[in-house]
C-alpha cells in the first residue's frame, strides 16, 4: 500500500506543468549607468527569457566588475553593453538585436565656457571605471580619463572643479544631478555620440541566441 502511495505521488509530480518555481535562474550583470538610463530593458529581458522557461536575477555592480564576473562565467552575461565590449570580454556573445541607443552628452561646470568636441583634447574627463564608451571616445578625441567609482563621484568632481567635464547618458545624467542636488553641473545638450546597445550572454549559453533573437525582435516591434 505504501508503495502504491509513493507511485501515485510520483505520477502527480510528473503530470504537473512546469512552473517558475522550477525554472532555471540566470544571473546578469547590470551596471548602474545602464540601469538608470534604460530601466525598461530589464523588464523586456524578463518577459523574453520567461517565454524560454528562465527566471532572471540582476546583480548590480560597477561597469568593470559586472564585465569581469560575466566574462569569467560567474554570471551568465550582461544586460546591456556596446558591441565592442567583446574586445575586453572574449567569452561574451552578443544577441544581435539593438535594445536601446544611448545619447552621450558632456556635463560640465556652469561657470566654465562651453566645451565642444574639438576642445576636449587634453581636458580632464571624469568617468566611472570600466566605462567602455568613454574609453573609445578618449582614444578618438584625446582627452584625459579620470576614473571614479561611479557616475555620482564623477559629477561631484565636476561640481568641485576637479574635472573639466564628465560623459553620461542625457536623461540619467539630468536625473542624477537633481538627486545629488548639484547646483553647478549642466549640459548644453550637444550629443557627443549615439551608440546602439546590445544584450550579451556568456558563451556557455550561446545556444540561446537563435531563440532570443526573434523573441526580442517581436517584443520590441510591439513596444509602445
Looking at the fold, whether 67 and 52 belong to one and the same domain comes out as: yes
The distance in angstroms from the start CA to the end CA of the chain is: 58
72 with 182, same domain: the answer is no
Same domain, 92 and 203: yes
Same-domain check for residues 145 and 189: yes
Distance CA 150, CA 129 (A): 7
CATH assignment at residue 58: 3.40.190.10
In a domain, residue 78? The reply is yes
Instruction: Assess whether 117 and 171 both reside in one domain.
Output: yes
In angstroms, the CA 144 to CA 128 distance is 13
10 Å Cβ neighbour count for 94?
Answer: 18
Q: What confidence score (pLDDT) does residue 4 get? A: 41
Give a yes or no: residue 181 inside a domain: yes
| Res 224: pLDDT | 58
Whether residues 109 and 189 fall in one domain: yes
Is 6 inside any structural domain?
no
Same-domain check for residues 127 and 209: no
pLDDT in tens, 21-79: 457 999 999 987 777 778 899 999 999 999 999 999 999 988 888 999 999 999 999 99
The pLDDT score that the predictor gives to residue 2 is: 45
Does residue 163 lie within any of the structural domains? yes
Q: Tell me the pairing of strands 77-82 and 124-128.
A: unpaired
* Residue 81 domain flag: yes
Q: Is residue 188 part of a domain?
A: yes
- Chain CA centroid to CA 49, Å: 17
137 and 186, same domain (yes or no): yes
- Statement to judge: residues 85 and 139 lie in one domain: no
Distances (CA, A) of 50 to 67, 94, 202: 24, 19, 18
14, part of any domain: no
Q: Give the pLDDT confidence of 65-122 residue by residue, as tens digits.
A: 899 999 999 999 999 999 989 988 999 999 999 999 988 999 999 999 999 888 999 9
Instruction: Give the residue numbers spanning the domain of 166.
Output: 102-195
Considering the domain boundaries, does residue 1 fall inside one? Answer: no
Residues 140-180 have pLDDT tens digits of 889 999 999 888 999 999 999 999 999 988 888 898 999 99
Give the count of domains, the chain. Answer: 2
The C-alpha angle with vertex 132 and arms to 130 and 136, in degrees rounded to 5, equals: 135
Grid coordinates representing 30?
547590470
56/117 same-domain check:
no
Using an 8 Å Cβ cutoff, are 29 and 81 in contact?
no
Both 93 and 106 in a single domain?
Answer: no
Please indicate, yes or no, whether residues 176 and 217 belong to a single structural domain of this protein: no
Amino acid at each position: 500500500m505504501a508503495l502504491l502511495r509513493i507511485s501515485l505521488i510520483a505520477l502527480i509530480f510528473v503530470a504537473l506543468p512546469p512552473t517558475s518555481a522550477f525554472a532555471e535562474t540566470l544571473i546578469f550583470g547590470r551596471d548602474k549607468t545602464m540601469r538608470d538610463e534604460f530601466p525598461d530593458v530589464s523588464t523586456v529581458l524578463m518577459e523574453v527569457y520567461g517565454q524560454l522557461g528562465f527566471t532572471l536575477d540582476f546583480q548590480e555592480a560597477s561597469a568593470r566588475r559586472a564585465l569581469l564576473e560575466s566574462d569569467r562565467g560567474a554570471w551568465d552575461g550582461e544586460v546591456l553593453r556596446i558591441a565592442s565590449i567583446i574586445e575586453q570580454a572574449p567569452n561574451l556573445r552578443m544577441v544581435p538585436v539593438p535594445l536601446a541607443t544611448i545619447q552621450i552628452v558632456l556635463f560640465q561646470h556652469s561657470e566654465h565656457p562651453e566645451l565642444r568636441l574639438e576642445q576636449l583634447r587634453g581636458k580632464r574627463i571624469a568617468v566611472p571605471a570600466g566605462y567602455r564608451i568613454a574609453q573609445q571616445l578618449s582614444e578618438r578625441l584625446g582627452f584625459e580619463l579620470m576614473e571614479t567609482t561611479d557616475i555620482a563621484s564623477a559629477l561631484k568632481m565636476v561640481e568641485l572643479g576637479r574635472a573639466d567635464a564628465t560623459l553620461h547618458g542625457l536623461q540619467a545624467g539630468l536625473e542624477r544631478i537633481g538627486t545629488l542636488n548639484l547646483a553647478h553641473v549642466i549640459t548644453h545638450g550637444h550629443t557627443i555620440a549615439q551608440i546602439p546597445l546590445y544584450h550579451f550572454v556568456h558563451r556557455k549559453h550561446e545556444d540561446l541566441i537563435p531563440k532570443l533573437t526573434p523573441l526580442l525582435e517581436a517584443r520590441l516591434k510591439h513596444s509602445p
